[in-house]
Structure 1
Amino acid sequence: MGEAASERKKEHVVNPKGLTSEEVTRLLAEYGPNVIAEDKPNPFRLFFKKLWGPVPWMLEATLVLEIIMGNNIEGLIIGFLLIFNAILGFMHQQKAQNALNMLRTRLQIMARVLRDGAWKQVASSELVPGDYVHLRVGDFAPADLVIAEGQVLVDQSALTGESVPVEREPGEVVYSGSVLRRGEASGSVTATGSKSFFGKTAELMRGAGSRSHAEELVMSIVRYLLLMDGALVIAILIYAAITGLSFMKVMPFALILLVASVPVALTATFTLTSAVASLDLSSKGVLLTRLAAIEESAAMNELCSDKTGTLTLNELTLSGMQTADGVDDADLLLMGALASDERTQDPLDKAILARLAETGVRAPEKTGFIPFDPATKRSEATFTRDGETWRAVKGAPHVVAKLAGADGEFWETAIADLAASGARVLGVAAGRDGALTFKGLIALADPPRPEARGIIADLRQLGVRVRMVTGDSMATARVVAAELGMEGVVIGGRDEIAKGAICDIYAGVYPEDKFRLVQTFQNIGHTVGMTGDGVNDAPALKQAEVGIAVSSATDVAKAAASMVLTESGLKGVVEAVKTGRRVYQRLLTYTLNKIVKTIQVAVFLSLGLIIFRHFVVTPLLVLLLLFANDFVTMSIANDNVRVSREPDIWNVRVLIKTSLIIAVAWLVYIFAVFGVGKDVLGLPIAELRTLSFLGLVYSGLSNVLLVRERSYMWSSRPGTYLLLAIVGDVILVSLLAHFGLFGMMAPVTWSAIGLLLAFTILFVTLLDLIKVPLLRSPTSRTAEASAT
C-alpha cells in the first residue's frame, strides 16, 4: 500500500522550539496517550476455551459414558473435576497474562523530544501533537511527524508491505511505526495513537506466547509417552475383546489412560514459570522481548560484550589532544565540535561540545550534517568559512587519516601514546570541500565501570566466559582489559575475525563483524550471548541465542534482541543467567516428574488389568489422581531452587535414562503396595483400589520432592506454595480414603494409611540414595561430554 505525495507532504505547523510542560499536560488530556487500545478478550470466552480441546473432549466423553451406564455420581464428580481444572487453568493463564502485560508496559520505546527548551528522553506513549522530536538511524518513528530538518531513508515495510525504503525530506511525513535506515531528522508530531495515519505504533515485545526450545523438547518426549499409552490402550481393548469384558466399562478406562499421558498443565506451567521470572527480572533491570530468552540464558557459556558503556562508564571527558603541524588546539577542538551534534545525545559528541562550551568559542552554523555511521566509522558536517564551503570530519583515526590522505603509520605512535591510558582516540580532519587536511587526534577518557571486574568474575564462576568486542584500537582495548582482569590474546582487524580466530579481546571490530563472530562460536558448539546498541548490531543480536540490547540501544537493536537492559553495565546479565538457571531447574523438575509418573501410572493400570483381571484403580480415581498431581506440579513454578554452577542444557538421553530408572523403581513400589494389600492384608478389591490410589498419590508427591533437588532431598527447603500444596494433597486424599466420601472409593483404616505413608517415606529415602549420582548436573555441559 503506497501513499500519494499529497498525503505524505502536507502543510503542517512546525514548532522547532518544542512545547512547555503546561502545554504537554493540556494536550495529553485532550488527545490521550500515544498508544493503540487493544481489544481485550472476553474472560468468559477464555474460560469456556478451557472446556474445548482434546483433553476436555476425552473427559467429557468419559462423563457421557458414565451417565449412560447409570453411574450418575461418578459422572457428577467427573463434571466437577472438569470445571475445577478449567478454573485452575484459567486462573494460571490470567496470572501469566497479567505478568506479560506488566512487562509490555515497561518495555517502551523512548523518544528524544525538545521540551521546556531542553532535549530529553520520554516514553513514546507520552508524546502529544506539537512535540518536536529528533530521530536517528535505528529509531522507530514514535508517532506521525512532519520533518523540519534533515533527510532520511525510511523503511515502511511493516506498515505498507513495500520492501523498498523511501526518502523523506523536510515537509514530508514519517509515519508512526516506520524505521529510519539512514540519516537523522527533527520534526513535529502531527498525530498520535489511533489518530495516526496507519493507526499503528511500534512494539518491542514479541513472541511471548511462542513455545521455547525446552517446551518443544518436552512435548516431543510426551508424544512418545502418548504413543506408549496408545499401544497400551490397544492391548487393553484386545484383552477386553478376548475375555469378553464390557466395552462400556473399558472405554472410560481407556480414555482416562490417554488423558494420563497428556501434560494438561504443561503449557500453563512453562508459561507461568517464564512469565513470573520475566516480571522478576524486569525489577532487576532486564526486560525480555520473548520468554524463551530465559531458557537460553541458562545455557549461555560465551558472552561477547561491547566495551564502551557496558564494561566502561561511557562518561567521557576530553583527556588529551595531539595536533598536526600548523594546527592549534582551539582549531582542532572546533573542527571536532562541528562534526558533533547535541541532539543525538551521543556521549562522544557531548564531551567534545562540553569542552568547546568551556572555552567560550562559538561554532559557526552548520549547513549540513551526516551523523556517525558505524559502517563508515565517521560523522561529518558542512559549514561556511570565509565565504567558502568547508567540511569537518570526525571518527576512527585510521579512517579519517586515510580520507584526508595523511600518513597513517606516522600517527601510529601518537595514537598508541594517547591510548596507553585506555582513552578512546578520534581523528579529526577539515578543509574546503574536496580538500580535507588531517587536523590531529582527540583523546576521550572512559574509565572502566567500578563493578565490571567483579561482574566478569561472577560470570566466570557461573561458567560464562566474557570476551571484549570493541571498535577501538588494540592499544586501548588491551589497557581496559587489563584493568578489568581480562587476560588473553588480543587481535585486531576484520581479517582475523573472518578467519574464525578465537581470542579474549577483539579490537577494531565493525558491527557487521559481530555477526560472523557469533557464528564462529556457534559453529564450535557454544551458546552465545552478544551485546549491542546500534542498528548494524541487529543481525548479530538476532543470530545470538541471547541477544542483549544495552540501555542506550536503538529501537531496531532492541527489537532484534531477546532482552533489553534498562541499566548500564552487565549486572543485568548476571541476574538473567541466575534466573534462567532457576527456571531451568523448575522445568527440569516438572519434566522428570511428568515422565516418571506417566510411565508408572500407565504401566501399572494396564498390566494390573491384564495380570489381576480387574481394574486396579477405577477411572474416576485415576482422574482424581491426575488433578491432584497437576495441582501440585503447577506449584513448581514458585519452587525454591538453587542456581547451578555450570550452564544448563537439555540432554534428552540422560533425561530419559534417569526417568526410566526412577519410574521402574516406583513401579516396584506400587506393585508391592497392591501385592501386600491383596496377599498379606487380604483386602477386598474395593479397598485395594483405594490403597492403590493412595499409593499413586503418595508416590507422585514424593517423586516431586525427589527430583526437585539434584542432591539429597533435605539439601534445600521446597518453596512455600509447593510445600503447602503437597501437605494439602496428603491431608485431602487421606481424608477421602478414610471416610470414602461421596462414594468415590471404599474407606480404609487409619492404620493402613499410616503404614502406607511410612512405607512411602522409607522407599523414597532409599530411592534418594540411587537418584543422587543420576541427577547431579544431569544436563550440564560436563555431563553431556561424559555421556558422549
Structure 2
Amino acid sequence: MIETDIKKYKKLDVTEVISLLGTSISIGLTDELVEKYRKTYGYNELPEKRPSLLLKFIKKFWGVTAWMLELIIVLSLLLHRQLDAYIVTGLLVFNAVISFMQELSAQHAVETLKSKLHVSSKVLRNGSWGVIPARELVPGDIVRIRLGDFIPADMKILAGDIEVDQSAVTGESQEVESTKSDVVYSGSIVVRGQADCVIALTGSNTFFGKTVHLVQLATPKAHIDDIVKKVSFWLLLIVGIFLGIAVISLKFTEVSFIEALPLSLVLLMSAIPVALPTMFTVSTALGSLELSKKGVLVTRLSSPDDAASMDILCVDKTGTLTENKISVAEVKAFGTYTKEEVILYGAMASQGANQDSIDNAFLREAKEKKLDLNSFIQARFVPFDPKLRRTEATVINMKNEKIYITKGSFQSVAKSCKLSTEEVKKYESQVGLFAQSGFKTIAVACKQRQDGKTVLIGLVALIDNPSGSAKVAISRLHQLGIKILMLTGDAFEIAKNIAQKVSIKGEILVAKAGGEFKKFDFTEELIENNAGFAEVYPEDKYTIVQRLQTLGHVVGMTGDGVNDSPALKQAEVGIAVRNATDVAKSSASLILTRGDSLMSIVEPIIVGRKIFQRINTWIINKISRTTLKVVFIIISFVLFKKIIISATAMLIMLFMTDFVKISLATDNVTWSQKPTKWKLKGLIASASLLGVMMAIEAFGLLAIGLNYLHIGIDSNILNTFTFEILFFFAIFSIFIAREPGRFWDSIPSNAMLVAIALDVLIAIVVSTFGLLGFKPISVSITLFIIAYSCIFSLLVNDFIKRKVFPVRYSEVV
C-alpha cells in the first residue's frame, strides 16, 4: 500500500520516493502498474455529489408561481369549485414535471460540455513522453510541469527549479520557490520555470482534498436576472394599472372580491416571466453544444450571449493571425562564429518536450542541417520567461567544458551581453531590416565560462506566415460590425507587415515608451483609425481591455499564456486559442480546439446573435400577449360588469402557450448583422402597442360573437369563446414577433411548428368536445375564430409591425 500522507513524502528523498512508488525516472510507469494503481486509488478526481432528484422535483412546488397556483386551489375549494381545483392541481403538477424535465435536459447539455473540457498533463510512461487527461494520472507517474500549468496532483520534484502560486491551496499570497526534493500541491499554478516530478498523491488523497475544477460551466445569472427584473417590472406595472381599474369597478357590479381574486392572481402570475431563465438556459445550452461540434468549447454558458454584443476583438498575432508554424528564414553570424554554430547553440538552449514554437524552429533547423546535438549534454535549462523574454541553458561539450547559452529577444539578450549604445544601434539596424521583411528576430549569445563575458554570436530571423484564412476571417468579422485590434509583443515593423497582409486597416501604435506602457488617450477616434499596438507586454493587454471597456465597448480578447489570463478574465469574451496554457483556458469563456483560430471566433458570434433574437422574440411575445389578455379581460369586465373568462381557462391557456414558447429556443431566426444591444424600453413600448392592437381586434371578434353568433346567452359558452379568441391571437402573434421583416421571410424550426400544431389541435379538441370544464362550441365557430385571428395577425398586425411602430427590430438591436 502506497503512503497517503503528504507529510511523509516531504521527509523522504527522491530515491526513496521513486523506490516506494515502484516507478523509474527514465521509463516512468508501465501500463500494468498504471492499471494496478488505478484500481487501487481510482481516477485523479473527487466524485461529484449530485443533489437528490426527488428533492429537486419537490422544489418545483415552491416559489412565486407555485404559491399562486396553490392559493387558487385553496380559493376554488372554498368557493366549492371542485372541478376548477382539480384542473389547477393537474396544471400545477404538469408544470412541475415539464420544468423538471427541462432542467434535467439543460443539465445534461452542461455535463456533455463539461466532459469535453479537461486539463492535460505531460507524462512519461513506458519510456516515452505523451499527453494524457490529468484525471488519468496515478501515483508514481513521472510528469513535466512548466510555466502556466495547473499542478494536477501532489507531487515531488525530481529535477528543475520552479516558482508556484499556491494561494488557492495554502493561502500564501507570495510565490513559493521550489526545487529538487520539494513537494508541490494540487491546485497550485506554475508561474516560472520547469520541473520533472513524480506524482505522490491523487484525487481525494491530496493535500487540497480534491482536484481543482479547472474549467467550470456556470449558469448565467447576473445578465439574464437583470433582463428578467426589467421585463417583470413593466409587466407587473401594466397588470397592476388595469387590476386597479377592475377593483374600482367592483363597486358597480355584483361580483365579490373573493370571486374576482382567482382571476386576479392568474393575471398577476402571467406577468411574471418565469419561463425566461429556463428558455435562456435551454437556448445557450443548445448553442454551446452546437459550438462544441465546430471546435469551440464554452466554459461559461452566458458567453455566446456576450459574444453577440461584442464590438471590439483584440487579437494576438501569433497563432491567431499567423499559422504559428515558425521556421528559420535567415541567419546572421558575428565574430568567429558560423551560421551553423548559431543554430546549434540556439537548439541547445531549446527543449522539444515543451512544444514551444521558437524552440521547435531551432531544433528542426538543426536537424535539417544535420548538426550533432548529441555532442552536447544539456545540464541545465530555464524555459522562456515572459518577463525576461529569453531562455537559458548550460551545456557540456565533449571536452567536459561548460557553455552558458542565452536565446531570446534582442533587447533582453543585449542587456545580458552588456552591449554599448553604439553596438546596440549597429545590431538594431539589422533587426530593423529583418522586421521590414516581416521577420521576428531571435538573438543568440554564449559565454565559455561562468565568470566570462556573454558574447552575442548571431541573430536569427524567424518567419510565421499569416494564416490562410486570416484575411477572409477578418473581412467576415468586419461585416459583422466588429473592430479588430491587433496586440503583439513583436516590433513595430513586424506588426505593420502582418496587419497589411491580413487587411487590418489603420496605423500600428507602439505601446512602449521608456519601458512603460504609454498613457494613450483612448478615444473613439483612436480606436477607429488604428489597427492595433506593437511591443505590448502580456500584462499591458489587461490595461488596453479595461480602457476600451470604459468607453462602453464590449470587448473580446484572444490569448494563450499565463500572463494573458488577467486580460482574458477582464474581457467580456475571453478566448483561449488551441495551444493555450491551463491558466489561460481557466480564465477564458471560450476555448478554441481547432487550428483555424480566427475563423472559429465567427461561430460563437453568430450563435450568440441567434440566441439574442430568440430571447428578443420571447420578450416581445410575452409582453404583447400579457397586454392583450389584461386589456381585453379588464375592459370587458368594466363594460359588461362580469368576468367573461374563468381563472381555470386562463391557466390552461397560460400553460399551453408556455409549452410553445420553450420551442423558440430552436427557432430559425433572422439574426442581426451588427452587434446586439438590449434596449428594453423601446422593445416593451412596441410589444405593448402590438398587444393593444390585438385587444382592439379581439373586441371586434367578441362583438361579432355577441351580436351575430349569440354566444352571450350562455356564460359558459362565452367562457369557451373568449378562451379561443385569446388563445389563437396569442399563437399567431408568435409568427409576427419572431421575424423582423415580413412573417414569411424565414421558416420556423420543425420543433416549433410541431409544438404550435399540437397546441392548436389540443385547443380545438378541448373546445369542441367540452373537456377540462369548457362547454363545447361548434367547429364552424372555432374555424371562424382561427380565420379572423390569422388574417388580422398575419396581415394587419404584420404590416403595422414593419411600418408604424416607432421602435422596430433594427433600432432595438
Return 100-109 or 233-242, whichever deviates more. Answer: 233-242
Which AA in structure 1 matches 2:719? R
Cα contact 1:141–1:179 (8 A) shared by 2? yes
Q: Does 1:442 align with 2:471?
A: no
Residue 387 of structure 1 and its aligned partner are, at CA, apart by 7.2
**Structure 2 residue aligned with 1:623:** 651
Structure 1 residue 368 corresponds to structure 2 residue 380: yes
Say if 2:707 is the partner of 1:679.
yes
Q: Go from structure 1 to structure 2 and tell me whether the alpha carbon gap of 1:130 and 1:771 turns closer, same or farther (over 3 Å shift).
A: same
Tell me if 1:412 matches 2:428. Answer: yes
The structure-2 alpha-carbon separation of the partners of 1:783 and 1:582, relative to structure 1 and needing over 3 Å to count, comes to: closer
Q: Could you tell me whether the CA contact under 8 Å between 2:490 and 2:535 is conserved in 1?
A: yes
2:506 is the counterpart of 1:488:
yes
CA distance in 1, matches of 2:533, 2:805: 38
Matching of residues 173-192 of structure 1 within 5 Å: 173-192=183-202
* Greater shift in the superposed pair: 563-572 or 528-537: 563-572
Q: 1:562 aligns with which of 579, 589, 592?
A: 589
What's 1:395 paired with? 408
Alignment of 1:572-583 (within 5 A): 572-583=600-611
Q: How does 1:91-106 map to 2 (within 5 A)?
A: 91-106=101-116
Q: Aligned-pair RMSD on alpha carbons?
A: 2.4
- Does 2:751 correspond to 1:689? no
User: Does the 8 Å contact 1:215/1:270 carry over to 2?
Assistant: no
Residue 86 of structure 2, aligned match among 73, 76, 80: 76
Amino acid at match of 1:560: S
Q: Identity percentage over the alignment?
A: 37
Q: Give, as a single letter, the amino acid of the residue that structure 1 aligns with 2:343.
A: L
Q: 1:204 to 1:586 in 2, by over 3 A?
A: farther
For residues 114-135 of structure 1, the C-alpha deviation after alignment (integer angstroms, 9 at most, x for no partner) is: 2333332221122222221111
Quote how far apart the aligned CAs of 1:30 are: 4.1
1:703 match: secondary structure: helix
Per-residue deviation, 1:183: 2.2
The residue aligned with 2:71 is 61
Q: How does 1:157-556 map to 2 (within 5 A)?
A: 157-206=167-216, 208-211=218-221, 213-240=223-250, 243=253, 245-357=255-367, 358-362=370-374, 364-383=376-395, 390-406=403-419, 407-431=423-447, 432-433=449-450, 435-495=453-513, 498-499=519-520, 500=522, 502=527, 503-556=530-583
CA apart distance, 1:63: 0.9
Match of 2:790 among 753, 761, 774: 761
Tell me the amino acid that sits aligned with residue 490 of structure 2: D
Structure 1 residues 773 and 448: alpha-carbon distance in aligned structure 2, compared to 1, 3 A threshold: farther
Which deviates the most, 356-365 or 103-112? 356-365
Deviation at 1:618, TM superposition (A): 0.6
Residue identity opposite 1:693 in structure 2 = F
In the other structure, the counterpart of 2:48 is 38
Q: CA deviation at 1:747?
A: 1.8
Q: How does 1:632-671 map to 2 (within 5 A)?
A: 632-671=660-699
| Cα displacement (A) at 1:26 | 4.3
User: Which deviates further from its counterpart, 446-455 or 207-216?
Assistant: 207-216
Q: Mean alpha-carbon deviation: is it higher for 295-304 or for 216-225?
A: 216-225
Residues 161 and 61 (structure 1 numbering): CA distance in 2 closer, same or farther, change over 3 Å? farther
Count of residues in correspondence between the two structures: 780
For 1:39 and 1:298, the matched residues in 2 are separated by 34
Counterpart of 1:730, as a letter, is: V
Q: Give secondary structure in 1 for the equivalent of 2:320.
A: coil
Q: How many Å separate the matches in 1 of 2:388 and 2:375?
A: 25
Stretch moving more, 174-183 or 497-506: 497-506
1:641 corresponds to which letter in structure 2? V
Gaps in structure 2 of 5+ consecutive residues: none
1:109 maps to which of 110, 119, 122:
119
Shift, 1:682, TM fit = 2.7
Residue 331 of structure 1 deviates from its aligned partner by 2.9
Q: In the superposition, relative to structure 1, how do residues 184 and 545 fare at CA in structure 2: closer, same or farther (>3 Å)?
A: same
Range moving further from structure 2, 51-60 or 384-393? 384-393
The letter for the 2-side match of 1:728 is L
Distance in 2 (CA, whole Å) between partners of 1:647 and 1:394 is 44
In 2, distance between residues paired with 1:251 and 1:187?
Answer: 71
Answer whether contact 1:497 1:516 (CA < 8 A) is retained.
no
The structural deviation recorded for 1:392 is 1.9
Instruction: Check conservation: 2:344, 2:371, Cα contact below 8 A.
Output: no
1:751 aligned to which of 763, 766, 780: 780
Q: Provide the C-alpha distance between the structure 2 equivalents of 1:739 and 1:757, rounded to a whole number of angstroms.
A: 17
Equivalences for residues 563-602 of structure 1 within 5 A:
563-568=590-595, 569-602=597-630
- 2: CA distance, partners of 1:232 / 1:486: 56
2:210 is paired with a residue whose SS is coil
CA 1:497/1:461 → structure 2, altered by over 3 Å: closer, same or farther?
farther
In 2: Cα distance, 1:19 partner to 1:312 partner: 38
- Please state how far the C-alpha of 1:77 moved relative to its aligned partner: 0.8
* CA-CA distance at 1:366 after TM superposition: 3.8
Deviates more, 1:759-768 or 1:492-501: 492-501
Task: Map Cα deviations across residues 71-92 of structure 1 (whole Å, 9 max, x no partner).
Answer: 1111111111111111111111
Taking a change above 3 Å as real, the CA distance of residues 532 and 292 of structure 1, as seen in their structure-2 partners, is same
Work out which of the residue numbers 639, 650, 654 in structure 2 matches 1:611: 639
Deviates more, 1:476-485 or 1:299-308: 476-485
SS at match of 1:250: helix
Structure 2: distance between partners of 1:456 and 1:61: 57
Encode CA deviations 1:635-656: one digit per residue, 9 max, x unaligned. Answer: 0111112332111111123212
